[in-house]
Amino acid sequence: MKKHLLLSLIALITLSALSFSQQALFGGANIISPEVNPDNSVTFRFQAPDAKEVKLTGDWMPAQGWTPGSELMTKDDKGLWSFTTAPLASDLYSYSFTVDGLRNTDPNNVYMIRDVATVTNVFIVGGGKGDLYQVNDVPHGTVARRWYDSPSLGMKRRITIYTPAGYESSKQKYPVLYLLHGMGGDEEAWINLGRTSQILDNLIAQGKAKPMIVVMPNGNVVQEAAPGESTLGFQKPTMQLPNTMDGKYEETFKDIISFVESNYNVITEKPGRAIAGLSMGGYHSLHISRFYPNMFDYVGLFSAAIMSDPKVTSKVYDNIDATLQQQLKNGFKLYWIGIGKTDFLYKNNVEFRSKLDAMKFPYVYRESEGGHTWTNWRTYLSELAPQLFR
């Protein structure tokens, strides 16, 4: 009897300790945040009984200059703060909390993304374009982080490459989209923030896009790899890097093409190559495609940073009009330009289109709502990919 009582007591203590440890591990009460409601409104919750003020900031809120808008949350008698949005359109959204002036991520949401040195939580509202950003029950491609030798830069560099479902067992040659990030980004930007693999998996499965390889290089020529992925260790990300938009990346881009065409089963002529990029990557795409005017049949400029710096001198930026004329003479299938109506680069893009118009240089123009945001760039990739390699 005593033996049974002792075993029962041990079991009770063990169960109690396990319960306590699990509660500590999972953060106490089971708080659901964010919660997407049936009408596509979203409820956010944050436990902070001693806080005086908690605000919710989200990229769907009207921005105040460069700063997203915010909303005050309401506190209940148990110290739980909450806020419910109006119904949101289908998309991927990011958000954070501000607690008594201090920025916080959501402890109840493990899904986060890094944009330069800022980390935010994310969620998806389905039922529309957000479905493209979900992992759905379709054949999935492979995402690899490879290291390649860049003789022009004298270093090994890291690159992210998406290959479509079936690539490993196929004998066919695939077309390639070179997809370039913006200032402060790296080879992780498009695959994480841009949801490239989900978008391509879903578009290919729906028959809307041709199976293609997507190459996402690091556009910062002084970096081996993304912060935390190189020999520099856990270095803080920054936008202030040497050799940014000075022609060096464009000059050395052939190292990337050589690596891809030597290591992957790809089409090695112009009809099988596309290049596109956002912001700084749009600037790079513009200049790489005209500096090598017979290299790409498809070009995409997303909110392109089309601006000249009189302090920068490079052979890449010489004879811009002449090389654009040569690109036109050589011919291409698609030159695609997209930008938001409130993007700070809008005027620069208007001026560039005026130049193209004067040359009778054909292009497709897409003007969207909003500004310089990943919301737009994911949309542009979703719209451009189906038009490639047709």
CA distance 312 to 219: 17
pLDDT at 62: 87
Tens of pLDDT, residue by residue over 41-73, are 999 999 999 999 999 999 999 877 777 789 999
pLDDT at 28: 59
In 151-302, where do the E strands start and end?
A: 155-163, 176-180, 213-216, 273-278, 298-302
Is the pLDDT reported for residue 109 higher than 70? yes
Domains in the chain with CATH codes = 35-127 (2.60.40.10), 133-387 (3.40.50.1820)
Res 23 pLDDT > 50: no
Confidence of residue 225 (pLDDT cuts 50, 70, 90): confident
User: pLDDT at residue 9 above 50?
Assistant: no
Residue tagged 């047709």 (tokens):
390
Q: What is the pLDDT of residues 333-370, one digit of tens each?
A: 999 999 999 999 999 999 999 999 999 999 999 999 99
Report residue 199: phi and psi, to 5°.
-60, -50
Distance CA 256, CA 152 (A): 10
Amino acid at 218: N
Cα(191)–Cα(169) distance, integer angstroms: 23
Residue type, 276: A
Compute the average pLDDT of residues 231-248.
86
Q: Give the integer Cα–Cα distance in Å for 201 and 204.
A: 5
pLDDT at position 156: 96
pLDDT in tens, 180-217: 999 999 999 999 999 999 999 999 999 999 999 999 99
Long-range residue pairs from 287-290, CB within 8 A, at least 24 positions apart, any chain: 287/247, 287/250, 287/316, 287/317, 288/250, 288/253, 289/327, 290/320, 290/323, 290/324, 290/326, 290/327
Radius of gyration over every alpha carbon of the chain, rounded to an integer in angstroms:
24
Q: Residue 230: which pLDDT band, with cuts at 50, 70 and 90?
A: confident
| Tokens standing for residue 39 | 């009408």
